[in-house]
Structure 1
C-alpha cells in the first residue's frame, strides 16, 4: 500500500490543533505581531523562522501563556487558551538554556514535573524509564547535569518536556548552544523523537538550514508578519517574494522589467547591452512592470564556451570562488556590474579546477530555472 503523504494543511476536513485568528500583540507603541492568522496541525513539526526582532519568539510566548494577545484569539484543540494559565495548558516549553536543576540527577530532572502533578510512584518510574529510552539516556540516569555533555543535557531537557505528554511542545532555539556537527546530529534525533511521540512541535529558530531540515512546514516572518508558511521544498523552490527567496539559501536576485512574450513566458530586460532573460511564470506581469528573477546557483551552468542551445546565456568574468568541499560556488560579474552565482559539484577527489579568478566564462540556465517575482 502506498504511504500516505503527511499534508493535513491540504485537507479541507482536517481540524487544526492550533489556530491563530487575527492575532495582534503590541508592547506600548511597538507592534510585535501584526494581525496574523495561522493554522498548525497535530503531529506537525512547525518552524517559525526569521531574523531577530521579527516576532517569532512573541508568537511562541503567546502559545506558552507568557504573553496574551492584544487582539484576536489563539485556540488549542478548539478552546480559546487566553484564560488558561501557563501551568494548566497542555503545552510545554523547552528553553534555550535547558534550565535543568543542577543538584538533581538526570532521572530526577525528568521526574520533576510528574511529581509536582502528584502522579503515583510506579507511574512516574515507568514514564521516566520510557523517556530515558526514547532519548537514549538510560546509562546517564544517575548523573548530574554537569557530568554529561551539552548534547546529552539537551536530550534531558527534551525528555523532561515530553514526560508530561503535552499536546504541544515549544522549542526556543533548542540547538543554539551546540557546535555545528552535534547540531546536525541532534536535528535528526529531534525529528525521530517527534515522529515516535506524535507530539506537535513548534520550533523557533533564526537558522534557516535547521528549519529546512526538521520542519514539515516553515513560517518565514518579517516585522511581525508571516510572509510565507509552506513546506521547505516550496519555500526554497517557489518563494512568493524576493524577501523569502533572499532569506532562504543562496540565491542571485536580478532586477528588471517584464515583457510578456507567449502565454506564461516573459522576457526580462535588466541591463543595457545585455540580452533579455527568458522566464516562465504562472504569475501575471504587465508590459514594463518591475520584476525580479530569483535564481539558485545550482541551477546555473558555467562553461568556457557559449552553450549552443542556451536560452539564457550571459558572458562574464569570475570575481570570486568559494570552495566548500563538495561544491564550488563561482561569483561571476557581468559587464554591467550584476553578479551571478553558479555552482558546480566536486565529484572527483582531486579534480583540476576548470576555472580560476578573472577567467571569462558563460553562464546559462533554462526558462524554468528561476522564479519571476514582483520587484
Structure 2
C-alpha cells in the first residue's frame, strides 16, 4: 500500500497552523505587504521565494513578532498573535548569520535557551544530546564555533532553534553563507531534520533551486503580493503568469495573438515568426494577446527540418556546456532567441552543433504553457 500523499492544502477539512487574513504592512507610505491572505499547514516545509524587497522577510518578521501588521490578522494555531511578544510565541527564528555565542561551546550554545527557561538538569542534558544526535554534531559538542566549519555552525544554529521544540521554525536565508556543494548537501539534511521533528518550517530565500528542492509548497512573491502558491512541480510546469514562469528556472517566451482552432487548441500568430500551435485548458478569445512559455528542455534541436507541431529555423548563437547538459541559444529570423537543451548522455569527441550552424528547433503543441498575463 502506498503512503498517503502529504497535501493538507487540498483537504477542505484541514485546519491551517498559520493564517494570514488580509494582512497589509506599511512603513510610512511604503506598502511592504499588500492585502495578503495565506494558509500554512502543520508539518509543511513552506518557502517564501522572491527578489530582494518583495516582502518575504517582512512576512517572516511579522510571524516572529518583530513587526505587527498595519491591517488584517495573523493567527497561529487559531489564536491571533498580534501584540504577543516574540519570546511568548511557539516560534523560533534562525538568522542568516547564525548568531552563535563565540565564547560558548557547541553544547552550551544549544543549551542556552533551555537553561534560560529553567529546564531541570537531567531533561536539559537529554534534550541537548538529542539535538546533537539529530544534527550529527556529537563529536563537536565541546568545540567553540570558530573551531568548526560553516556547515557545522549552520547545524548548531538549527539544533539551538529546535531545542525548545517550537511549533514553527523560521529560517531566513539559512544557507546563504555556504558554498554551492555544501548548500546542496545541507538542503537534504534540512529536509531530513524537518521530517524527523515534524516541526513546521518556513524558509525565506531568493534561490529558486533551494526553494524547489526543500519545500512542500512555494509562494512566489513580488512587490508585497503573492503571485502564486503551489507545489514546486506545479510552479515549474504550470506557472500562472509570465512573472512566475520567468522567475523560476529558464524559460522561452513567445508573444502573439491567439486564435482558437478547436477544443483547447490555438494557433498563435507571432510577429516575424508566423504561426505556432499550442494547447491550453485556459480559454483565450480570438485576437487576444497571449504568451507561450516553453522550458528549454522541451525544445529539441535538429540539423534537418523535423516533422513536428512547431519547427522554426535559426542559427546557433551561443552554447552553454554544463557537463550533463548543453543549452543552445538559437537566434530566429526576427532576432528572438530560443534556448534548446539536450542531455549529454554519452561522451562526445566533438559537438553535434557549433557556433553559427544553421539548425531547426522544434516543440510539441503541448510542450508550453499559454499565459494571459
TM-score normalised by length of structure 2 = 0.99
Q: CA deviation at 1:338?
A: 1.0
| Residue of structure 2 in register with 1:323 after alignment | 321
Root-mean-square deviation (CA), in Å?
Answer: 0.7
| Paired residues for 1:264-275 under 5 Å | 264-272=264-272, 274-275=273-274
Distance 1:31 1:116 in 2: 37
d(CA) in 1 for partners of 2:180, 2:347: 24
- Distance in 2 between the 1:115 and 1:311 partners? 67
Match of 1:339 in 2: 337
Q: 1:213 matched to which residue of 2?
A: 213
How does the TM-score come out when normalised to structure 1?
Answer: 0.99
State the 1:349 CA deviation.
Answer: 2.2
Note if 1:285 corresponds to 2:281. Answer: no
Listed one character per residue, the Cα deviations across residues 4-44 of structure 1 (whole Å, up to 9, x for unaligned) are 00000000010000000000000000000000000000000
Aligned equivalent of 1:41: 41
Q: For 1:294-373, list aligned pairs within 5 A.
A: 294-308=293-307, 310-373=308-371
Q: CA deviation at 1:300?
A: 0.4
The runs of at least 4 consecutive aligned structure 1 residues that moved more than 2 Å come to 349-352
Q: Could you tell me how far apart the structure 2 residues matched to 1:53 and 1:189 are?
A: 28
> What is the deviation of 1:352?
2.7
Distance in structure 1 (CA, Å) of the matches to 2:349 and 2:210: 31
The answer for unaligned runs of 5 or more in structure 2 is none
Match of 2:32 in 1: 32
The answer for unaligned runs of 5 or more in structure 1 is none
Partner Cα separation in structure 2 for residue 337 and residue 2 of structure 1: 50
TM-fit CA distance, 1:351 = 4.8
Count residues with an aligned counterpart: 373
Alignment check: 8 A CA contact 2:68 2:83 kept: no
SS of match in other structure, 2:305: coil
Q: CA–CA distance in 2 between the matches of 1:351 and 1:83?
A: 66
The residue aligned with 1:146 is 146
Tell me the CA shift for residue 2 of structure 1: 1.4
In the other structure, the counterpart of 1:263 is 263
Distance in structure 2 (CA, Å) of the matches to 1:349 and 1:127? 52
Structure 2 residue aligned with 1:225: 225
- 1:261 aligns to what SS in structure 2? strand
| CA distance in 1: counterparts of 2:112 and 2:298, whole angstroms | 52
SS state at 1:194 partner: helix
1:147-186 deviation line (CA, Å, top 9, x unaligned): 0000000000000000000000000000010000100000
Q: Deviations over 1:46-87 (max 9, x none)?
A: 000000000000000000000000000000000000121100
In the TM superposition, what is the alpha-carbon distance from 1:275 to its structure 2 partner?
A: 3.3
Question: Per the alignment, in what secondary structure is the counterpart of residue 101 of structure 1?
Answer: coil
Structure 1 equivalent of residue 8 of structure 2? 8
Q: Is 2:185 the counterpart of 1:185?
A: yes
